Structure 1
Amino acid sequence: MPNASARPKHGRRTRRRRREDPARNELVSSSLESAQQCLFNQDYGTAFVHYLLVLNLAPMFKDFARESFRFTLFKWTEELDSVGRIQELFDCYEQALELFPADEVILNSMGEHLFRMGFRDEAAGHFHKALKLRPDYPEARENFYRVANWLVERWHFLMLNDHGRNRKYQQAIQKAVQSGCNTVLDIGTGTGILGMCAKKAGAAEVYACELSKTMYELACEVLTANKMDDSIKIVHMKSLEMEVPKDIPQKVSLVVTETVDAGLFGEGIIESLIHAWHHLLLPPQRGENEFQDQSATGRVIPAGATVFGMALESLEIRRHHRLCVSEVGSLSISAAGELRSPPGARRVHGAVHHRETQQTAGGYKALTEPFTALNIDFNNVQVQRIRLPVTQGGELDALAVWFQLHLDEDSSLSTGPEEDTCWEQAIYPVHSTKGFVLKPQDELVVEVSCRDAFLRLCSIAVLRDGHEICLDTLQDPQNTGDPVSNQTPEAELCSALACLQTDQNQTKDFCMLECSEMALLNNQEYHQSFSSALSKLISQMKVKCQNKEPGSGVQSDSADLLFVLDVSEGFSLLSLIAASHGHVKAFSSVEKVKQQEVLKRLAQSNNVPEQHLEFWLNNMEDEQGMLKRPSREKLWSAIMLDCVETCGLIRQKLMEKASLARCLLEDGGSIFPAKIVVQGILVESDTLLLESAVQGQEPTLGFNIAPFINQFTVPVHVFLDFSTLECRHLSEFVELFVLDLMESTANYTNREVKVQATSAGRVTAIPFWYQIHLDQEISVSTLSQNSHWKQAAVVLQQPLRVQAGDWVRLAVKLQKSAISISAHIENPPGPMEQ
């Protein structure tokens, strides 16, 4: 149409009396009919293309076709996801959002895909938009809460609530600025608080950088609210990528940062500062000339640190990092080879607080006195060997590490276990398969280094009776001649992951498991319970098979096999435990090649026929549905669902998966678990309050920060260790909710529970966990001492003050997979009213 872009005369009348285009109408009509036919034929890709054409040519059909378009989009993107066509998947969502930019369901669904792919910042943005469009949209709210736990980690709230830490940083910055450091760069600004301290202290120019998109946008909001958005320039990038004058116009005289983790170096503070000294900072002060112009020299806050350590015995650490059992669910696992957790430090809050209670969960016993491991000024790389007298006998499980952060020559912060601090301690686990027992006359030799900008604890040896015994526990599994200290944590992880795919002859006895997976293997009660429940079911199903009428079907051994499906995430032995009972073909969800090899070796050593164990995810491209078995003759005898995440939450879409699983069971078959009972307790815990939101009405150091960071407050606290949580119990344990996976008619979405307070106090949270019933008689608890699961807790927005004897009414709701709880005091009977 050559004149299509020309402006017609009498434009308004033309728009009101727009002429029909018969050819266009015919195309729209035929495409709409084709879309519906393709949808009926389950040809979702072609149907999606037809719908795009119709809705672009005829927007008036949007309301009519919205539901069908959504359904087509979701089905087509599921297919694209299953075959790894990720770019096409996101292209489809982009095209859908061009048509329906305010569709909260499409926004939420795209956010779910982004989150699964690891794009957490982008996912949070989509969930947030969906909630703005529809604040009562439960799926988007649940997703936003889950992603918020990743994006704004709970330590942000702890740090802002740590008034002593905040004041010390403010005083050190004020002192440096007043001494002449008038140009400042805040590396990893977070909420922007340190940069604002510098500006408030009188710095002429303040710059800041932040890598996280979510935290960058939050910091921008905070600066605007505090009227500093024009005086502090913040850039969304990593400091290692910053250049002068491209990103900041000049080198600065002061860098402030708090990019430290529990082990001090894990967030790359040394690498950042080395780059800053070379590219972003003025040269350091030379000599002791106190009259030297400070504005012409560079300095850093913090100026340095002292690292401390201690050798520990801890069953809790051991079971997360070493295999402690020889039998799992009646399976001998001697053929499994060496199983390890990933190398590197782990955070453990108050690790040494519990050293006197080593017999309880979370208990630790000190094997040496605390020692000074390293003094560092963030410029000087050091390596030293330390000899530590062993003060108490015990099995060496880990080295605990904490530090004292020197802000300047007068002020410091300690992360020690005896301090009331927002920081945790770091644990360097010992990965030996068999623990080494230290004796009080021994000396422990540890090489401590700060090589490659990260703290290394390696080359552990023991001096005993004049002889040095090399433990070799922290060496690189790929090259036992070179210590792990030669690699960065990223390189360590890559090496570990490479072990899963390399030649079997090189790494046949080594396999990397997550800490939670290692703890799972060590959970004997869990595996024995599953073994017993499976044994009962298999016996019942065998009897049923034997009682079949002659001629009712093929009687070959192959046809009479029972089929069991395990859909656990990560490493799982449940399928092999099922296959070991005989007369069973089990399908495993284990995906990694190296881990599959471990299962195959275990199957062979436990006399499980090779053909009785299959890895069903290897054949996903041939399957139409996740829970469908590649056999047309028989249904599943048992389906094992992975119901609870390690963090303490019910897995998303659990009830939908259970509904599908019930349809795939043969008569008499069972889902494991059959039922989940949610249990909880009323507690008073200031710790949970401090980890959940910035507390109090007072501005933080005079800055308005709380309303912005508190947008990321989530009602459910995850990865909670109830055995070590600082809290007061205000009630007995109570049943909160029941999820019946076998009987859909028994389920509900709302329940009211009355709980009587046993002590006076403030109800600040309701921790909860699960009693997982495999059948009517056998169950396991996620609260048990050897559980590989953590717990979770609903934190109340407003604490509820109770007296002993008060009744508290809890309104418990389960929306999809998210549990929410509200609480209020039950009105007492009339005569007791005051």
Structure 2
Amino acid sequence: MESVRGGAPVDKAVDFANYFCTYSYLYHQKDMLSDRVRMDAYHSAVFKNKRHFQGKTVLDVGTGSGILAIWSAQAGAKKVYAVEATNMARHARSLASANGVSHIVEVIEGSIEDVSIPEKVDVIISEWMGYFLVRESMFDSVIYARDRWLKPSGLMYPSHARMWFAPIKTKLVEQKNQEYQKSLADWSYFSQELNEAYGVDMSTLTMPYHEEQKKYYLQTSLWSNLYPGQVIGDPVVVKEIDCSNATLQDIAAVKSRFSFTLSGSDRLCGFAGWFDVHFRGNASNPADKEVELTTSPSDTDTTHWGQQVFLLQPPLVIEDGDVVQGSIEITRSKDNHRLMDVKITHELRSSGEQFYPATVCNFFIE
């Protein structure tokens, strides 16, 4: 979903409009259906573990185009409830019919929190992941569905998730700083022209404008598809989630410490975050074939999720073997619970003459 500048408190109706509107268009569904890594992982998870679906009742939370519901039916499910909050539901219903599974797949239009399902289910399948896993907060709805509709022995697809974090080098630092400086120069030229042409002094708004632009250009995380060579320290896991028992409290905030030994004499330009999910079944009913979906930096297997990049302004000069350590804290935005506030505290221990004290950087995942 495209990011927007700034944020404002939203009620449920506005949140529904802002969040779900994009997913009601086929062009956006096409982007996700064109993601080969995403599609291959879910397809393999279902069809290499048909035993989990054959003769079972399945709930697809946020079915979108209905692809996961259709696959579940093709894998042998006896009944699939496909819940979709937008009018994409009518396309999902049409697609299920065109693929000969409309007698199995029942598409229900509405949010999972508001609809009623006539029975408990054996499997919940959902593609709920957002940027850096937690953006969009859709896992809240999956937890709700699990607690209300999943049988005690039921399976979650995916079953586990992890959030990864790593130091990186990138040329995006200079690009975003140049864009920021240009935006300030544009304001200066604009306000001068307005004053000369219309006699209105805009200077009282200069500082708020600068703060707004700083947030957008320098503090908002960036979507990027990084290459492995841009990662300059071994990635660490900052959060693990067991989808079978995770609670809302478990995912409301992510707090973790990190320590990276940096490789190469270069620059520490920032940090990147990504995720992977696994389809393992559960302890009493493990998958016949465990499948992983990863959004890690790759030369070939890129995804529509990419990675979230948090740039340091300015970057830090490093030597091979330097250590950067600190902490990351991810919390939900007070203005919009689907967006995230990120605080990264970092300190560089250099083996050379450089010295960088502990620094706190605040970012926004929008």
TM-score by structure 2 length?
0.68
User: In the alignment, what sits opposite 1:306?
Assistant: 162
Q: How many pairs does the alignment contain?
A: 303
Q: 1:443–1:320: structure 2 CA closer, same or farther, 3 Å change rule?
A: same
Q: Which amino acid aligns with 1:375?
A: E
Secondary structure of the residue aligned to 2:101 is coil
Contact (CA 8 Å) 2:318, 2:350: kept in 1 or not?
A: no
When residues 405 and 464 of structure 1 are mapped into structure 2, their CA distance, relative to the original with a 3 A threshold, is: same
Does residue 437 (structure 1) correspond to residue 312 (structure 2)? The answer is: no
Letter in 1 for 2:343: C
Matches within 5 A, 1:609-648: none
The Cα shift of 1:255 comes to 0.3
Deviation at 1:373?
3.1
1:193 paired with 2:78, answer no
Matches within 5 A, 1:151-230: 151-159=28-36, 164-171=40-47, 174-178=50-54, 182-213=56-87, 215-230=88-103
Supply the AA of the counterpart residue of 1:470. Answer: A
Going from structure 1 to structure 2, the CA distance change for 1:407 and 1:321 (only over 3 Å counts) comes to farther
Q: Which residue of 2 aligns with 1:417?
A: 297
Partner-residue secondary structure (3-state), 2:35: helix
Contact kept, 8 Å, 2:221 with 2:308, in 1: the verdict is yes
Matching residue within 213, 227, 231 for 1:366? 231
Structure 2 counterpart of 1:93:
none
Please tell me whether the aligned partners of residues 267 and 318 of structure 2 are also in contact (alpha carbons under 8 angstroms): no
Q: Distance in 2 between matches of 1:148 and 1:195?
A: 17
Within a 5 Å distance, the mapping from 1:185-584 to structure 2 comes to: 185-213=59-87, 215-242=88-115, 247-283=116-152, 297-316=153-172, 318-320=174-176, 325=181, 328=185, 337-338=210-211, 339-341=214-216, 345-349=221-225, 351-352=226-227, 355=229, 365-378=230-243, 379-380=245-246, 381=250, 383-408=255-280, 410-418=290-298, 419-430=300-311, 434-440=313-319, 441-448=321-328, 458-464=343-349, 469-474=357-362
Q: What is the CA–CA distance in structure 1 between the aligned matches of 2:339 and 2:187, rounded to whole Å?
A: 42
What is the percentage of aligned positions where both structures have the same residue? 19
Contact 1:263 1:345 in 2 (8 A): no
Contact 2:276 2:295 in 1 (8 A): yes
Q: TM-score, normalised by structure 1?
A: 0.32
1:531-576 Cα distance to aligned partner (Å, 9 max, x none): xxxxxxxxxxxxxxxxxxxxxxxxxxxxxxxxxxxxxxxxxxxxxx
| Residues 155/200 of structure 1: CA separation in 2 closer, same or farther (3 Å cut) | closer
Cα offset, 1:313, TM superposition = 2.8
Q: For 1:692-738, what per-residue CA distance to the aligned partner results, in whole angstroms no more than 9, with x for missing partners?
A: xxxxxxxxxxxxxxxxxxxxxxxxxxxxxxxxxxxxxxxxxxxxxxx
Counterpart contact for 1:402–1:416, Cα < 8 Å:
yes
SS state at 1:420 partner: coil
Counterpart-to-counterpart distance in 2, 1:275 and 1:250 = 15
- Structure 2 counterpart of 1:302, one-letter code: P
In 2: Cα distance, 1:175 partner to 1:344 partner: 44
Mapped contact 1:320–1:341 kept (Cα < 8 A): no
Greater Rg over alpha carbons, structure: 1
Q: Classify the secondary structure of the residue corresponding to 1:241.
A: coil
Pairwise CA distance, 1:368: 2.4
Could you say if the C-alpha distance between residues 234 and 206 of structure 1 is closer, same or farther in structure 2, counting changes exceeding 3 Å?
same
- Tell me: CA distance 1:158–1:367, structure 2 relative to 1, closer, same or farther (3 Å): closer
Unaligned runs of 5+ in 1: 1-116, 125-146, 284-296, 356-364, 476-483, 494-834
CA contact (8 A) 2:128 2:139 kept: no
**Which deviations, in whole Å up to 9, do the C-alpha atoms of 1:559-597 show, x marking residues without a partner?**
xxxxxxxxxxxxxxxxxxxxxxxxxxxxxxxxxxxxxxx
Contact 2:325 2:346 in 1 (8 A): yes
Q: 1:228/1:317 Cα in 2 relative to 1: closer, same or farther (>3 Å)?
A: farther
User: Would you tell me which structure has more strand in proportion to its own residues?
Assistant: 2
CA distance in 2, matches of 1:118, 1:411: 33
Match of 1:472, SS?
strand
* Distance of aligned partners of 1:277 and 1:121 in 2 relative to their CA distance in 1, 3 Å threshold: closer
Distance 1:152 1:204, change over 3 A: closer
Give, in whole Å, the separation in 2 of the partners of 1:304 and 1:456.
Answer: 23
Higher-helix-fraction structure: 1
Distance 2:35 2:259 in 1: 36
Q: CA deviation at 1:344?
A: 5.4
Q: 1:318 to 1:212 in 2, by over 3 A?
A: farther
SS in 1 for 2:167: strand
Relative contact order, higher structure (CA 8 A, sep 6+): 2
Checking the alignment, whether the CA contact within 8 Å between 1:251 and 1:282 is kept in structure 2 is: yes
1:192 shift after superposition:
1.4
User: Would you say the 8 A contact 2:274–2:308 is kept in 1?
Assistant: no
Distance 2:157 2:267 in 1: 39
**C-alpha distance 118-254 of structure 1, shift in aligned 2 (>3 A):** closer
